[in-house]
Every structure is written in structure tokens, then in C-alpha cells.
Structure 1
Amino acid sequence: MESITIGLVLLLAVVLSGTVARFSPLPIPLPLIQIALGAAIAGVTGGGVKLEPDIFFLLFLPPLLFLDGWRIPKEGLLRDKGVILELALGLVVFTVLGVGLLIHWLIPAMPLAVAFALAAIVSPTDPIAVSAISARVPIPKRLMHILEGESLLNDASGLVCMRFAVAAALTGTFSVFNAVGTFLWLALGGIAIGVGVIFVVMKAKELVSRKIGEEPGGQILLSLLLPFGAYLLAEHLHCSGILAAVSAGITMSYIELRGKALATTRVGRGAVWDTVQFALNGAIFVLFGEQLPSIVSGAARIVTETGHLHPIWLLVYVIAINVALMALRFSWVWISLRFTLFRAARRGEEVRRPPLRLLAAASLAGVRGAITLAGILTLPFVMNDGTTPFPARDLAIFLAAGVIVVSLIVASIGLPFLLANLELPPELDHHQEEDAARVAAAKAAIRMIDGMSDAMGEGRTDADRYSEIGARLMAYYRQRIEGHSKTGEDAETVRKLEEAERRLRLAALRAERDEYYRLGRKNKIADDVARKLVREIDLLETRFTI
């Protein structure tokens, strides 16, 4: 009963956070509001939720990472795959070495292996936090795609580095050969399992659907279970469950292009996943806020462990680690850019050099979040002997929590300043691509209507009626072809007219819906009839508001 109550309170806090964010005169990111609400809940109840890292990983990360992989634009991933891999792999190792040595130098009481473990878990950026920041701070699309791609892939590299550092702390030994082999098994195995699970399950689903039909509710529930299945199977085989969930989502996006699902399934599935994403994203940061008071309450003991006498040193450590993370990230991005420009020059290509402010924005946008929180909480309590406490565990947890909060605050304040009035290379214009797709789809529709109307009227005395209906529908599609075949100023004029038509249609649909509700309130139509008619209007309105 207590667990259910806690879950309901978390969801209520998520709902309230959205309301507070809308009323706030300042552009405060939603995660910071949710963290504050979580801390307030812990203060009122006298303590936070006891967070089990393994359960946290299982409940929150697979569905969110699966959805990010499912919906991330593949064009951006493929176009900037080199940059993304450099950030997701090279930058993580670079950060682990640099920040790990810095932490050990700042806090000699923390063993070098534990310092490396802390550096490893604060090295991955978090896709959930990045998405939350972008909701209030307009980040250029291409940069956002790079950040999302990086954050989806660097979780595995950061967690693997942490695993090796913890093993070194427990055993006192480290093998580079074993580390490389384990990393390859974790990464490649996780990716293969994610792809395999989706391919096998979707093939089986299609076979069943062909025989007995498709039930939308069951298909939506199946889509919710898939990330958990991929994650659990990968973890059971000692592979990366995180990469399994991500690769499963990316595979799902390609499987979906086959168009086998019913329209009702796709519409319902999209609505369900939007709700799941909103609820889990918010609950993660509310839970983090609930953990903060208990983490901060141990500050006095932590300060004693570090050998200093004043708690202000905790803040100094957190700021120093954040500065180091941003400096190393900026250096890596700058060096990577120089190599990219050098290779382009050797190929004779002309590449526009991005402004320095954009590089600084890319450094600030490396926000930490759920992965860091859950990962640091997996540190063991005791050494291998079962009695000796794991060195500096509480200190590492406090510093990781501080890095998360400070990275969110710095990104929220710094990104609007860095991106304001920034001249950027023009984004790819997809209007022509979209128009061409609409024209091709309209031509396919005309061919289908022409053939089907003839077949429906064949041998019937009222065949002319079917021909008339077909002609009317084909006229609508021909009008669409004509409108989307224009270029230049004519195309812009068509878009303006379409926008005016859209606004008029929305106003008309809302008037229809209001009338249906009025008739329902006066008992002029039955409740089920009113619901049916309103649903029709809702679906039409959704079409014009996407």
C-alpha cells in the first residue's frame, strides 16, 4: 500500500511541476522544478524513498531509452555518426582519465580507483536531461541530434569504465586486455540482442496478425514490454541492457516503416508512449530530489573523510569537477573540429567553421541526469571481505548528485546566453522533400481510387455513381498535387493559404464539437453517439495540429 501511495505522490508531483513551469516568469527547466518538488516531498514526509539502483534501472531506463532510439531522426545519426562516436567513446575515456586524476588530486583520501569510478559515472550525458533542457532552451536541430545520439551511446561506455574501476578498487588489479574484451562483449552483445529481440517478436506478431487479425490494445501493450524484454535478456547474458534498449528502439523505427500496424494501433500507441515518457521523465527527477536531503545530511561526515574542516569544500569539489568536465568537453570538441576541417581541406571540400560560441554551447549542453544518479548508487557498500566499508562511497554519491544539479543549472543559464542571436549554417529545408512525398502519395491514391471505383461498379446498374464518387475523390488529390508541385514564391503562397485553411478548419471543428456537447447536455443525442461524434472531431483536429 505504501509503494502505491508513493507512486501516486510522484505522479502528482510530475503534474504539478508542469503547472509550476508554465506559471514561472523565468525559463526554469522542468527538471529543476521537479528536483525541488522531490526535495520538498522528502522534507514534508521526513525522508525520501529508498532507491534500489537495479530496480531504478529496470523501471525507468529501458522504456525511455527505447523511445529515444525509436524517435531520434536517423538522418542526423547517420550524417554525424563520426562526431557522435568520437563523443560517445573517445570523450568518455578522455574524461575518465582527466577528471579521475583531478578528483584524486583534490581529495587524496579518495583512492585512485574510486576517483576513476566517479569520473566514469559523471562522464555520460543523459538523453532524458538533454531532452528536458531543449524543451525550454531552443537548441539548433543538428546540435540537438548530435547530443541525443551521443547520450544514447555513451551510457554503455561510461558504465563499463565504472565497472572496471570498481573492480580495480575491490581487487587491486586491472587488465587492459580484459577491459577491451569485456567492453566489446557488452557493446556488441547488447546491440545484437536489441536488434534480435525486435526482429523476432515483430515477425511473430505479423504471422499471428495475418491469421487472426490485430488487436490494438494488445499491440500497444506489446510495444511497452519490448524494451524490458531486450534489457532483461541482455543483462542475463552479461551484455549491456542499455545498448540493447537503444538498439531495440532504433530497430523498431525501421520495422515500423513497413507499415504493417493498423492506423488505430499507431495512433493509440503514440498517445500511450507520450504519456509514459512524460510520467517517467518527471518521476526520475522527482525521485532524485527526494534523495537530495539524505545525501546532503551526511555532509559533515563526508567533510571529515576529506580531511577538511568546513563544508564549503564540498561545493568547491562539485564546482571544480563541473569546470573540468566542461573544459575537457570543450577541448575534445575543438580538437575534433580541427581534425574534421583538416580532413575536409585535404578532400578539397569547403566547410564553414562553426562559431566559438556554438562549441561552448555544445560543452555546456553535456547535462548529467538519471544515468549518473542510478550508476553511482550501484557502488558496493563493502569490499570483498564483506566487512571493510567501500572507501569514500558517501562522498562519491554526494559529488555525483552535485554534478547533476550544477550541470542542469549551468546549462539552463548559459545556453540561452550562448545561443542568443547566434548565426548558424542554414538547416536542411525539408519542404521540397515533404512536397515531393505528398505528390507521390497523392498519385498513388489516384491510381488506387481509379482502379477500385471501376472494380466496385463493374456489372452494376448504378456504376456511374461509383465513377462519380471516384472522380470527386481524385479531384481532391489532383488539387493537392497541383498545390504541392509549385516552387519558389508560388509554393510559399500555397503554404500561406494552407495555413489559413488549417485555422479555419480548426475553428469549424471546435464549433462542431461544442455543438455535439451542447446536444449531449440537453439529451438530444445518446451518450455513446456523442462520444463517437466527438472522437471523429478529435481525430480530425489532431490531423491539423500535428
Structure 2
Amino acid sequence: MHSILPFLLAMIAAVVLLEMWADKLKIAYPILLVIAGLVISFIPGLPAVRIHPDLIFFIFLPPLLFEAAWSISFKEMKKWWRIIGSFAFLVVFFTALSVALVANHFIPGFTIALGFLLGGIVAPPDAISTGAITKFVKIPRSTSAILEGESLLNDASSLIIFRFALVAVGTGQFIWYQAAATFVWMVIGGAAVGLMLAWAFVQAHKRLPTDASSDIALTLIEPYFMYWAAEQLHCSGVLAVVVGGLYMSTRQLTFLNSASRIQGFSVWSSFVFILNGVVFLIIGLELPEIVEGLRMQGIPLSTAIGYGVLITVVLIIARIISSYAAMIATFLFRPGVAPRRRTNMLLMPLILGWSGMRGVVSLAAALAIPITLDNGTAFPHRNLILFITFVAILLTLVIQGLTLPYFIKRSKLFDHIIENEAHEENRKQMKLGLKLHIHQFMKNKYENELNVHAGMEKYMKLWEERTKSAEDIWMNEKTKTIFAEMLESQRQYLVELNKDPKISEEIIREQLYQIDLEEERLKII
């Protein structure tokens, strides 16, 4: 423990330094982290970092999925649910099937079950990698919402395939009607467990005398409990965390106060950043041990690299084919939302197909493969599956990750988009509507105080002129109470405004955060 702890602390420090360097170079930090892990792994004398396969999902996945569910716009997910659903389920299954068939045909000793196991591992693109890469280029909110929504749900679908394939490899048989019933239970049961526990957690936050620290502590353990409870009932822990996180995210204004939301945002951002960074470093650090396992099994490194390149090519081609199929389906069945420009019709699916970088979930799934089967024999081709997964992650991150921003800029696909202007116009309309709403609210509810209280007269003048006072001595307890009610009224106005499909949820969340800051400032005046 005393030898591994300094190494783990050094890993976290390396994650921070590499992220700053990547930001300066304007490339996605997962790319540098994977390469750095690979380089560090060749330093002699470093302690081995091993996580038990049964714990890998439980340690990393719940908080990463929970935070992603809180960050995504549920409003945008509902708007683009058809294409998100097709990418999250149909495309994942098509990719896993393609990998299974190719692996069964070209890799000696690979059964269809092992092929599906590998396909379930490498099928889901990584949300963190995609988000880190696309932040350096301008893409429309619709494309961003599709990529984020897909990555949130495809983890569940790919891991369901992974679980079925794992059972088939262990038992040597696959009974389709039993698998269908199990699949239905995993999906419905996982979603139900997530909803029920999320509702219970919301009630606990409401009824218990929590403060910001205890609220944040509870949110840190809640995704783990959702995942554990669902897995104990043999349904999808991933879906439980995703559905529960979405439910709690849409109701956070009802059970978290402003301090909990502000501090929780900072805590969760740092926590998830460290988890992601450590995982991407582990990808590189695991390679020497995997290569040693291949050598012991008599598989030449060059042959294993060839298999990894082959599967990576299959992943890329399958996703591009799926993207064009989705575009054709959209054009046939929903022509109203299909791109009008011919260039968009040709290039948009290519860009979506090229954005399928692999990462955290693929690594976690590969490391979760048991070392031995139930009968005690070694799990077939475990090291080869791990190596192919590593190659797929490395190649998609480095090749696609470095070239995607260049392709987007070179294609000029999104140069015609005027979302920034529309976004700013929506922001101006929201702020003007908010100002008129609050002014009317204050006049209707506190008309007498406005006429006789010098502090309130000063505040109303401040509000109307949109200036800031240099002194806060006029803010007594009465005006604090009124001001707090006014802030809550603003929140309710913004919640109603968010129902307008033309208003971006992003600017609503930004303004809600500003209101939270104002409320915290009010407490220290």
C-alpha cells in the first residue's frame, strides 16, 4: 500500500499536467493520456496497477454515467430521440455483429460468442473523448446533442450484449427465447430500479435536514447504490444509473438548494475528471502485462497488432455505413428534419461516422472479463481481447481524434451555421423577459413596500437601470426575504420558459447558475 499510494498520487498529478498541456496544444487530453500511459509503462520498477475484474465496472462506471446524465440536455434528447435511439441500439448491435463475423472468420479459435463478446466491448464510442475533441471546433447543438445522447445510452446496450456473450462463452450455449426474456427484464427492470431509487433519493434530500456537504456526499454514493441494487436483481445497472440520473437531474431545483448545486458542480467536475484521467492512463499502463500474456500463449505481437488494426477498421466502416443508413432513413421517413444542402447530406454522416472514438467503457468491459471460467479453466483468448481493445482505443483516439477537428474545418460543413447569432438572440430575449417578469412580480406583490421603503426603491431603480450598487447597507432582513422570493420567481419563470422548443436549455442552465450565485451572495451580505 505504501508503495502504490505515491504512484497513484503521481498518476493524478500527471493527469492534471497532461490535461493542461493538451489544452495548450488544442488537442483532446485523452489522446495524450493514453500515449503517456503507454510511455510510462516501459519505465522499469513501476508497481503494477491491477483492479479486480469484478470491481472494474462498479468503481468507474456508476459515477461517470451519473454525471453524464446530469450534464446532458434532456430536452435535446427528446427532440432527437429517434436518431439517438438508432445509434445507441441498432448501430451498436450492427457493429457488434460485424465484429463477431469478422473475428470468427479471420482470428483462429474465435467463436461467434467470443466475437460478440469482443463486439460488445469495442462497439460503444466514448463520450468523454468525443466531447474533449469537439470542443476545439464549431459544431451545431443538434449534432452535439446526438453524440452526447448516443454515448449515454449505447453504454447500456453494448454492455447487455457483453453480458449475454459472456454467458454464452461460459456455458457454450445460447437459447434465444431465454435471452429475449432476459433482455426485456434487463431493460425494463434496470429503468424501473433507477426510477424508484431516484424518487426515493429525491424524497430523502427533501425531508432530511441536509446541507451542501451532506447533499454532495449523498449524490456521490447514490449512483453506486443504483448500480448495485439493479445488479442484485439481475437487471441492467447501467440503465438504472442513466435513468435515475436523468430523473434527478430534471428535478434538482426541487430538492437541492443553491449551495448544494454550486458546490456539487465543482466537486463532481473534479471527481469525474480524475476518474477519466486515471482510466485513460491505465489503458496504457496495462499494455506490457497484456503483451506478456500474448507471448505466453504463443501469439506473435505483429499478428495481434494485425488483428487489432482489422477490428478497428471494421468499427470505423460499420459506423460510417450506419451513419449513411440513418441519413437515408431520416430523408425517407422524416424529410422535414433532413439536411437540405447536398453537401450536408454527403458529409454529415461521414463526420458522425468518424466521431466514434473508443475509451473508458471499452476498457472497463475488457478488464471485467474474468480470468477463469466457472469450471476453473482459463478464459479463452482473454489477453488477445484485451490487446485488440487497447489497439482499437489507441488507434481511434489518435487517428480519428487528431483528424476529426481537421476534417470538420476542412469540409466547412458547419461554416454556414448561424447558431451563435440565434443563441445570443435567445439569450437577449430570455434576459428581457426575465427582467419584465421580475419587475411585474415586485410591483404586484410588494407595491406598498416599493413606495415607502427607501431600500426597495433603490433596489428597483437598480434593477430597472441594470447597474450595480457600490454599497449593500440597504439590504436588511426584509429586503433579503423579498429578494429571495424574487430569485425563486425567476427560477420558476425559467423552468416554464425552458418548455419553449426554440430556447436552448444551455442558456437556461447558465442563467439558473447565475441565480444560484446571487442567492449565495445574498446570504453573506
Q: Is the partner of 1:390 in helix, strand or coil?
A: coil
Q: What's 1:251 paired with?
A: 247
Aligned: 1:49 with 2:45 = no
Distance 1:280 1:10 in 2: 11
Distance 1:479 1:93 in 2: 58
1:395 aligns with one of 366, 384, 401: 384
Q: Is the partner of 1:49 in helix, strand or coil?
A: coil
Higher-Rg structure is: 1
Contact 1:123-1:158 at 8 Å conserved across structures: yes
Cα distance, 1:427–1:224 mapped onto 2, change above 3 Å: farther
Q: What's 1:216 paired with?
A: 212
Cα distance, 1:22–1:378 mapped onto 2, change above 3 Å: closer
Aligned: 1:372 with 2:362 = yes
Contact 1:137-1:415 at 8 Å conserved across structures: no
Contact 2:53-2:369 at 8 Å conserved across structures: no
| Poorly superposed stretches of 4+, deviation over 6 Å | 347-350
**Structure 2 matches for 1:52-91, cutoff 5 A?**
52-91=52-91
Q: What's 1:153 paired with?
A: 153
Q: What's 1:433 paired with?
A: 426
Distance 1:355 1:294 in 2: 45
Contact 1:364-1:410 at 8 Å conserved across structures: no
Please list the CA deviations of residues 472-494 of structure 1 after superposition, one character each: whole Å capped at 9, or x if unmatched: 3223333459xxxxxxxxxxxxx
Distance 1:473 1:23 in 2: 44
Distance 1:326 1:393 in 2: 23
Distance 1:344 1:29 in 2: 34
Q: What's 1:39 paired with?
A: 38
Q: Which deviates the most, 328-337 or 417-426? A: 417-426
Distance 2:292 2:339 in 1: 56
Contact 2:31-2:401 at 8 Å conserved across structures: no
Residue 349 of structure 1, CA deviation = 8.5
Aligned: 1:293 with 2:288 = yes
Distance 2:385 2:180 in 1: 25
Q: Is the partner of 1:430 in helix, strand or coil?
A: helix
Distance 2:31 2:339 in 1: 42
Distance 2:434 2:54 in 1: 47
Cα distance, 1:116–1:261 mapped onto 2, change above 3 Å: closer
Distance 1:256 1:444 in 2: 23
Unaligned runs of 5+ in 1: 458-462, 482-535, 541-546
Distance 1:140 1:163 in 2: 35
Q: What's 2:463 paired with?
A: 477
Residue 113 of structure 1, CA deviation = 1.6
Distance 2:28 2:441 in 1: 49
Q: What's 1:327 paired with?
A: 317
Cα distance, 1:188–1:446 mapped onto 2, change above 3 Å: same
Unaligned runs of 5+ in 2: 468-516
Residue 47 of structure 1, CA deviation = 4.5
For residue 254 of structure 1, what is the amino acid of its counterpart? T
Aligned: 1:20 with 2:21 = yes
Please list the CA deviations of residues 163-205 of structure 1 after superposition, one character each: whole Å capped at 9, or x if unmatched: 2222222222111212222122112222222222221111232
Distance 1:189 1:100 in 2: 28
Q: What's 1:194 paired with?
A: 194
Contact 1:360-1:418 at 8 Å conserved across structures: no
Contact 1:70-1:253 at 8 Å conserved across structures: yes
Q: Which deviates the most, 414-423 or 128-137? A: 128-137
Q: Is the partner of 2:370 in helix, strand or coil?
A: coil
For residue 284 of structure 2, what is the amino acid of its counterpart? G
Please list the CA deviations of residues 257-278 of structure 1 after superposition, one character each: whole Å capped at 9, or x if unmatched: 44x5322222111111121122
Q: What's 1:207 paired with?
A: 207
Calculate percent identity across the aligned residue pairs. Answer: 30
For residue 312 of structure 1, what is the amino acid of its counterpart? S
- Give the TM-score taking structure 2 as reference length: 0.81
Please list the CA deviations of residues 267-310 of structure 1 after superposition, one character each: whole Å capped at 9, or x if unmatched: 111111121122112111112221122223334345x34xxxx5
For residue 357 of structure 2, what is the amino acid of its counterpart? V
Q: What's 2:398 paired with?
A: 409
2:259 aligns with one of 255, 264, 267: 264
Cα distance, 1:139–1:290 mapped onto 2, change above 3 Å: farther
- RMSD in angstroms over aligned alpha carbons? 2.7
Cα distance, 1:216–1:455 mapped onto 2, change above 3 Å: farther
Q: What's 2:413 paired with?
A: 423
Q: What's 1:8 paired with?
A: 9
Distance 1:343 1:453 in 2: 54
- Give the TM-score taking structure 1 as reference length: 0.78
For residue 423 of structure 2, what is the amino acid of its counterpart? H
Cα distance, 1:432–1:348 mapped onto 2, change above 3 Å: closer
Residue 135 of structure 1, CA deviation = 3.7
For residue 389 of structure 1, what is the amino acid of its counterpart? A
Distance 1:152 1:480 in 2: 40
Distance 1:54 1:444 in 2: 54
Residue 40 of structure 1, CA deviation = 4.0
Distance 2:213 2:47 in 1: 39
Contact 2:279-2:360 at 8 Å conserved across structures: yes
Q: What's 1:228 paired with?
A: 224
Distance 1:152 1:413 in 2: 23
Residue 398 of structure 1, CA deviation = 0.7
Residue 250 of structure 1, CA deviation = 1.0
Q: What's 1:511 paired with?
A: none
Q: What's 2:439 paired with?
A: 446
Please list the CA deviations of residues 415-474 of structure 1 after superposition, one character each: whole Å capped at 9, or x if unmatched: 1232014233636533343333323332343244446655658xxxxx74x1x3323322
Residue 408 of structure 1, CA deviation = 0.4
For residue 436 of structure 2, what is the amino acid of its counterpart? K
Please list the CA deviations of residues 372-391 of structure 1 after superposition, one character each: whole Å capped at 9, or x if unmatched: 111112223333432x3222
Q: Which deviates the most, 14-23 or 58-67? A: 14-23
**Structure 2 matches for 1:524-535, cutoff 5 A?**
none
Q: What's 1:315 paired with?
A: 305
Please list the CA deviations of residues 310-363 of structure 1 after superposition, one character each: whole Å capped at 9, or x if unmatched: 532222221211111111111111112111101235x89885552423222211
